[in-house]
Structure 1
Amino acid sequence: MALFGYPPPARVTILTSSARRVPCEACPLRTNPYFRAFTPDELKFVSGFKRGELAAEPGSMILSEGAHSAQLFTLLSGWAFRYKTLEDGRRQILNYLLPGDLAGLQGSVIGEMQHSVEALSPVVFCVFERDNLQSLFRNHPGLAFDITWLASREERMLDETLLSVGRRSAVERAAYLLVFIYQRAARIGLTVGQRLLIPITQQHVADTLGLSIVHTNKTLRKLAERNLIKWHDRSCEVLDETGLLELSGWTGLEEERRPFV
């Protein structure tokens, strides 16, 4: 049953290791200069660490808050988001997952997930068994540092989101959110030229910014009137990256190369 207008979770299709479609040696993310290259030993370990792939449609629940996950996931393609919910179903979106991002670390380290992960578009995740996580930390310090870096990066992004929700105005919050997603996507080659359609609805924006859907609609209309964005059916196009940066008061992404597992 849907709460507050959210659709029920969609069906998930799991591909086992025997059905792996993308071997680690041919991973398209490895050819992207934005990602740190693996050493031959690291690539061999990660290839053995991977157990399969998980393909899901938009709206699919990948990880559920409170669940004990036996797996880690790296997003191979598509978009997803992390969120928490109150008992009455109200949702707070914490962050958005793009290819190369890690999910499920909380379930592997803490024992249960403290947030949920849902597919925003058709997605494919690489699936890793958490039982091999100790071996990774023991025998591959470079990969262990990568996982620590990814966790630290997530904390830094949450810091900026908290600052935005707590101190930026509604227009500044929306500008920051959209240019932040745009820059992250551009870094990993998701833009076509300068064009990117971010697959989010106004409800997603409202749940990220902590605003009502009515207030969100008015806020996004102000950005569109300034020709900073263009709203499409279930997606948003950034028209003026510089203008959004100036409006948000944010300096933009600083990181250059980054790891993934």
Structure 2
Amino acid sequence: MGKKILILFSLWTISTFGQDKSADSITTRVTDRNIKFKYEALIIPTTLIAYGVIGLESHTLKDINSDTKDEINEHIDNKFTIDDFSQYSTFLSVYALNAAGIKGKNNFKDRTIILGTAYLIMGTTVNIIKHTSNEMRPDGTSNNSFPSGHTATAFMGAEFLYQEYKDVSVWYGVAGYVVAAGTGFFRMYNDRHWFSDVAAGAGIGILSTKIAYWVHPLIKKTIFKKKENLNGVIMPIYNGKQYGLGMSMSF
């Protein structure tokens, strides 16, 4: 029997493991020693994260949070929980497109390792910060508002979609980022997050995927070196309060 790994794709749990040879994020050469960042690709995600962190203490940014909340609340009639599902649609689109015969950059094995790595990085980062930042949600229900995990998941998937399909058409990535931005908006619309929470979540999501592509050659070489086949199934998870996705992989 081969090894088996169970990856739980859920906003409230930590998941799994992932490459990129593109000039957009990381430049890699034949040897691992020559792997290097293209630093300008990190400007946007690190800026978003910095904005969110500063927003925890800055009175000016807190005022922007409050003003944004008030502006959105003026136009709210009903709550829409579409963000509970749209957060996953960006990375699931990669698998849907491949199933439809529109091939992306990587095969199933490599893109799944990359996605698992990105989710592990993103999920670990978000959960650690949530349990240490002590930021109250706009609706006052809990003090784990910062950063937005839904938004982080959506932007992680949007960058994943972009990286896999930018050589086919950049519009796939654009569509993914539109959906991710919509997810962030609905987190504020539903009074679950402040603007700074959403900004930080977006930055964490993008950065997690970029790092996943960067470290993928090393992970593939050291962990999955002799594993040619990777099979898996994705399934929904619901525990009465929280939604998520589960993936069982065997290799």
Which TM-score band applies after superposition, normalised by the shorter structure?
A: under 0.3
- Greater RCO, 1 or 2 (C-alpha within 8 Å, sep 6+): 2
Relative to the length of structure 2, the TM-score reads: 0.28
Which structure features the higher share of strand residues? 1
